[in-house]
Amino acid sequence: MKAKLVTQKALETLKSNTQKALNRSLDRHIKLAVTGFSGSGKTAFITALVKHLTSQATKQNLPFFDVVREGRLIAAKQVPQRALDIPTFDYQAASACLLADEPTWPASTQRINTLTLALKFNCESGLRSHLSPTSTVYLELIDYPGEWLADLPMLSQDYQAWSEATLELLQRDAYKSYSDSFLSLLATFDPNEKVDEQALKNLAQSYQQLLTTLKNETKLAQLQPGRMLIPSDLAGAPILQFFPVKPLKEITEHTQYQQLQARFEAYKQQVVMPFYKQHFCQFDRQLVLVDVLSALNDGPDTLQEQQEALAHVMQVFNYGKSGFLKRLFYPKIDKVLFAANKCDHVTPSQQADIALLLNDMLGEQSNDLRFAGVSVESMAISSVQSTQAKLVNDAGEQLECVYGKVLGEQQWTTYLPPQPPNHCLSAQQWPDHGFEFLSFYPQKARQGNLNHVRLDHALQFLIGDKLV
């Protein structure tokens, strides 16, 4: 009898140890990078994701998220994060804005943030279900300022290539009027002179001012160096005091040019590289939020620029082609979702068009990504709903409109959005009066519940396969 008990106990211990070892070997941590250029909706997305998973995970609310539709999600809750050196995403403050009586959008991402959700669920089948009927997956959400994402392409450029590309961008029609004062100051600067700290500082300040203006006034995504917009502890440091200059035929020692070149390289090595090595390479999945409607509002230059910026960001995955990035780091991301966000600024039947437009913007790059083994998807979403669809009878004709409270106004408005294009338009194809899509306040939560558009589709693509 005693021997039998001992054997049974030993067996149980063995089973428990095997279970622990196997559970450890099954990937139970998912690092999801929520990325996108500034203002693309990262803060609102994370807030909505946490809200829907922790308190609104019903079949009616998330019907396309398998673990929820199949009734297998037991519960989700925020747990302490593993990375102790990264500030925690302030979910309470952000959700309070969206859930207020007069809802407002939470403040945008200004620094890197993280938050971990533990998702406890009943296993569907497979290895896990034999070991234990339930499992817990830790979803680490990482949100970092869009400006930092824009720095990525700098890694593949030297100072001269960066200068040329940046000056070309600043002289485009859409940005020229903003760049004029910096460019005329630059015309008085002699890069061949010996180093004059004050002159470098003044021009760097003027360049920083220009980047800030471009950020506020346009939708230009490639604002480099990104840290100039959010310098934090680098404010005033020479590593951030550089700017583009016209290429020189010959570079002489101890000149201003050489100093700028050295600062540019130091910025890449000491600021950009560690960030990508520490964070970017650790991600498993990536969401790229794109605000295509604002780009359309801004005009053809901005749409083209956003397309270029996306292409640059995607190149990081293209390690098959790009030897230098392969040497630097090897991203392990195997799924990327490109989401045309804020899709409820247009009618439900127009939403497919903005997903097609985004797809067209991604062009061959998404094909290359697939070739490199990354699974890619694009869709139109709105993580927080800000309008309702409304049919309006106009002299017998049924018009599909949206209804919401326009940002900065007090009144609720019924509005007929312009038809968005479903592919990229050249400047010649651009409509004479351009596009004018409106922005809205978030919809008021009903009984504490937020609404979304296709957040469940996004979740299924990004993490559904890990919750089986």
| Smallest gap from residue 99 Cβ to ligand GDP (A) | 15
Strand arrangement, sheet containing 134-143: 73-79, 113-122, 134-143, 29-36, 285-290, 335-340, 375-380
| Smallest gap from residue 71 Cβ to ligand GDP (A) | 27
Does the protein bind ligand GDP through residue 457 (CB under 6 A)? no
Identify the sign of the CA torsion 342, 345, 349, 354. negative
| Smallest gap from residue 142 Cβ to ligand GDP (A) | 13
Does the protein bind ligand GDP through residue 113 (CB under 6 A)? no
State the binding string over 301-340 for ligand GDP (x if CB under 6 A, else -): ----------------------------------------
Count of alpha carbons within 13 angstroms of residue 19, beta-carbon side: 14
Does the protein bind ligand GDP through residue 445 (CB under 6 A)? no
What span, in angstroms and rounded, lies between the C-alpha atoms of 141 and 416?
Answer: 36
Quick one: 47 or 179, whose CB is closer to ligand GDP? 47
Determine how β-strand 285-290 pairs with β-strand 29-36. parallel
| Residues written for the chain | 468
Does the protein bind ligand GDP through residue 383 (CB under 6 A)? yes
Does the protein bind ligand GDP through residue 89 (CB under 6 A)? no
Does the protein bind ligand GDP through residue 421 (CB under 6 A)? no
Quick one: 109 or 304, whose CB is closer to ligand GDP? 109
Task: Kindly tell me which residue out of 65, 89, 91, 105 binds ligand GDP, with binding defined by CB under 6 A.
Answer: 105
H/E stretch holding 154 reads none
Rounded to 10 deg, the angle between the 256-267 and 159-170 helix axes is: 90
| Smallest gap from residue 417 Cβ to ligand GDP (A) | 12
Which residues in the 191-250 window bind ligand GDP by CB under 6 A?
none
What span, in angstroms and rounded, lies between the C-alpha atoms of 159 and 244?
Answer: 8
3-state SS class at 56: coil
How distant is the alpha carbon of residue 263 from its chain centre? 27
| Smallest gap from residue 300 Cβ to ligand GDP (A) | 22
Does the protein bind ligand GDP through residue 386 (CB under 6 A)? yes
3-state SS class at 237: coil
Quick one: 160 or 213, whose CB is closer to ligand GDP? 213
* Interacting residues with ligand GDP (CB under 6 A): 36, 38-44, 105, 108-109, 146, 341-342, 344-345, 382-384, 386, 439-440
